[in-house]
Amino acid sequence: QKEVEQNSGPLSVPEGAIASLNCTYSDRGSQSFFWYRQYSGKSPELIMFIYSNGDKEDGRFTAQLNKASQYVSLLIRDSQPSDSATYLCAVDNFNKFYFGSGTKLNVKP
């Protein structure tokens, strides 16, 4: 079993809609959770991090964490075509960061 699982997509949403990206992880001891965005041919860039159960909002982005269910999600409100990218979920395990395979998001104008 992989440490971090994501649906590879593609996830297609119309411009202005809410995009919901999901991630599950296997190690209950994980404490730190991150979402990265990666455009084709570019390096991953940090969008958000979350450490505590519940929601964390930053602009159009909301990260949600449920440690009991070992589940992390990212909501993107008012999706824009520029949000089209691959979104990577990352989870720490004793200072080792494990990444999911990423969900490709397409936002259609």
Partner 1 sequence: DAGVIQSPRHEVTEMGQEVTLRCKPISGHDYLFWYRQTMMRGLELLIYFNNNVPIDDSGMPEDRFSAKMPNASFSTLKIQPSEPRDSAVYFCASSGPVGLYNSPLHFGNGTRLTVT
Site string for partner 1, 73-92 (x = CB under 8 A): ---------------x-x-x
CB-nearer residue toward partner 1: 90 or 105: 90
At 109, which helix (H) or strand (E)?
Answer: none
Binder among 21, 23, 37, 44 for partner 1 (CB under 8 A): 44
For residue 35, give the nearest of 106, 100, 104, 105 by alpha carbon. Answer: 100
Q: Is position 23 an interface residue for partner 1 (rule: CB under 8 A)?
A: no
Binder among 39, 46, 57, 108 for partner 1 (CB under 8 A): 46
Tokens of 60: 């159009």
Q: Is position 102 an interface residue for partner 1 (rule: CB under 8 A)?
A: yes
Q: Provide the sign of the torsion angle of the four alpha carbons 26, 30, 34, 38, taken in this order.
A: negative
List the Cα angle 65/66/72 in 5-degree steps. 45
Minimum gap (Å) between residue 15 Cβ and partner 1: 28
Q: DSSP code of 47?
A: E
Binder among 45, 57, 58, 78 for partner 1 (CB under 8 A): 45
